[in-house]
Amino acid sequence: MAAISDYALLGDCQGAALVSSDGSVDWWCAPRFDAPSVFARLLGTTGGYWSIRPLAPYTTTRHYLDGTMVLRTEFHTQDGVLRLTDALSLGVGERGHGIGFTSPHVLIRQVEVVSGVVDVAVEVVARPEYGLISPTVAETPLGVEMSGGADRLVLTSDRHLACDGGLVTGRFTLAEGDSAVFALHHRRAADPQTVLLDGRAAVRDTIAGWESWDRIHQGYQGPYREEVRRSALVLQALTYQPTGAVVAAATTSLPEKVGGTANWDYRFAWLRDGSFTLKALWVAACPDEARRFFDWMAASVGSVTAEDHVPIMLGAAGERDLTEHTLSHLEGYRGSRPVRSGNDAWQQKQLDVFGEVLESAWVLRDQLVDLPPDTAYLLRSLADRAADSWREPDAGIWEGREGQRHYLTSKLACWVALDRAAKLAPALNAEEQVPRWSKAREEVRAAILDEGWNASSGAFTGAFGSDHLDAAVLGMPILGFLPGDDDRVVSTIRVIERDLTRDGLMQRWTGAGDEGAFITCSYWLVEALALAGRIDEARHIFEGVTARANDLGLLAEEIDCRDGSQIGNFPQALSHIGLINAAWVIDQVTAAASG
């Protein structure tokens, strides 16, 4: 099975596919990121795939077309060069930025020979619903139709394709200048009949759609501009356009440790990561997307009373119930079981969500003029909840399933909620609440400074009364709780560097063993170092971590500390969010120092 970093992401801003460097689509979920897959060989041999490659031995090179998420792979054989262009079709021209909605959902693959002569092999094995279904496959006047369960697929091509049971194959020879195109149309059984696309026109339109979006989202001109630009495109590809939600990753169950059980479904949107996401969208000059994401958060959370569970994560359309299921028929990536659909963390109590939503409002404060009454009520309610419940234990941002504790970062998030609510009080029509919120804010602050500081460790630790470190406490200077050059912050950074960091790669907590290094934690270290005035070291770590991306600039959730490979769900939005935000902090600190 290919390495996780061997894959490229395709997106239509509703679902996602992964393509290996040898031309095999081993993952495709349509019509939504969290829909049951059509191809899932990434997670098991029975999951299905779509391969296009030369018959002769080859080497490959690949890149995204500039300003797009359209992939170009070139296969170099002894007799010629085959160029493969892969895309998920976009509906073009809606919302004024070149990206709209497509129905049906279409995976397009176009091949052409740029020199010599190449014999080409095509194999398609569709296995809907995570490989549970072997569809009926038949040649029809429309193309090859595949039907099973709730999925309907039509594969069109200008080359003959043969059916042998559930296997669809094509064998043909192309000479220089020749080309062929394939379009796999997906719809649900209850949807209207498929309107077939012209594959070549759809490729052109998709390229134009991405280029249009990219042209008007290039406001960031600071250091590492191209890395920020690529990460912004990845975030757009992970955005569910009908609502504006940004999902955490394109995949489920890619392991945090190969062969282990920490295999989670990340195809949902975490409110907990909301402020990081919004800041990254804002930095990357995507203000419309940032506002849409905030509006989606506010509408999805709805009204909050003192008894309501505040969700930490939601489905891309705002669903609450994300109950976890085990897909026992799949053996998992390189034997990493279980494979999961859904994520039971949706039921957890995490106090940090209060601060995340209010920090999101603070990031967008200049745009939040004349807040709708229901949004203002929600923000007031979250501040009240923070004031009432900050003393309670919770599951913490790392979503441990071993029980609740008094996590420092949860208290920090409550402080953020109260601080931002007090500052936003006029917009929230809540001036009378400021004394109460301010009083609670100072109580939280005093508790963090007293109970969160461990004198023997010389650092703020992960939980009250603990001596264990937690990389997430680096949020203290990032969120403005303490200045970056405060002696306690400087000492905490030094201890975390010593005990959790190796070669700029940071693990989440003390005692992580051979758990991977979380990429976003390294970017938090970059921000903290820059805010502490250690700008050269911040740049060095930023460049070292960013160099761990694959050849297309894509980052997973973690880096395996043992061999340096990428592990975890892929690509991971939070890793790219961390990259964007760290680049921006470097830019801001550098500008302040020089001006």
Instruction: Tell me the per-residue pLDDT of 507-546, one tens digit each, with 9 for 90 and over.
Output: 999 988 888 999 999 999 999 999 999 999 999 999 999 9
Cite the beta strand spans of 508-589 per DSSP E: 517-518, 558-559, 566-567
pLDDT band at 96, cuts 50/70/90?
very low
pLDDT band at 595, cuts 50/70/90?
confident
Share of the chain above pLDDT 90, in %: 87
The crossing angle, in degrees rounded to 10, of helices 535-546 and 573-594 is: 150
Query: Among 153-167, 286-300, 539-553, whose mean pLDDT is lowest?
Result: 286-300
pLDDT digits (tens, 9 = 90+) for 118-143: 999 999 999 999 999 999 999 999 99
Please name the helix (run of DSSP H) or strand (run of DSSP E) that holds residue 81, with its range, or none: strand 80-88
Beta carbons of 136 and 148 less than 8 angstroms apart:
yes
Q: CA-to-CA distance for 314 and 300, rounded, in angstroms?
A: 8
Q: What is the pLDDT of residue 322?
A: 97
Amino acid at 524: W
The crossing angle, in degrees rounded to 10, of helices 573-594 and 225-237 is: 150
pLDDT band at 93, cuts 50/70/90?
very low
Contacts of 47 (CB under 8 A, 6+ apart): 26, 37, 39, 40, 41, 127, 130, 131, 330
Alpha carbon 317 to chain centroid distance? 16
The crossing angle, in degrees rounded to 10, of helices 573-594 and 274-283 is: 60
Query: Among 175-184, 261-270, 295-304, 314-323, whose mean pLDDT is lowest?
Result: 295-304
Q: CA-to-CA distance for 394 and 297, rounded, in angstroms?
A: 21
331 has pLDDT over 70: yes
Q: What is the pLDDT of residue 95?
A: 41
Pull the structure tokens for residue 152: 């309907």
Q: CA-to-CA distance for 323 and 133, rounded, in angstroms?
A: 22
Q: What is the pLDDT of residue 94?
A: 41
Q: Is 260 exposed, middle or buried (0-12, 13-18, 19+ CB in 10 A)?
A: middle
Helices (H) and strands (E) in the chain, counts: 14, 28
Percent of the chain that is helix, strand, coil (3-state, to 5)? 35, 25, 40
275 has pLDDT over 60: yes
Q: What is the pLDDT of residue 412?
A: 98
- CA distances to 246, 270, 441, 491 from 314, in Å: 10, 6, 28, 37
Q: How much is the mean pLDDT over the chain?
A: 94
Q: CA-to-CA distance for 462 and 508, rounded, in angstroms?
A: 10
379 phi and psi, to 5 degrees? -65, -40
For strand 517-518 and strand 151-157, is the pairing parallel, antiparallel, or unpaired?
Answer: unpaired
Pull the structure tokens for residue 35: 């829909």
Please name the helix (run of DSSP H) or strand (run of DSSP E) that holds residue 203, with its range, or none: helix 199-215
98 has pLDDT over 70: no
The crossing angle, in degrees rounded to 10, of helices 434-451 and 408-423 is: 150
Q: What is the pLDDT of residue 100?
A: 54
Domains, the chain: 4-214 (2.70.98.10), 217-594 (1.50.10.10)
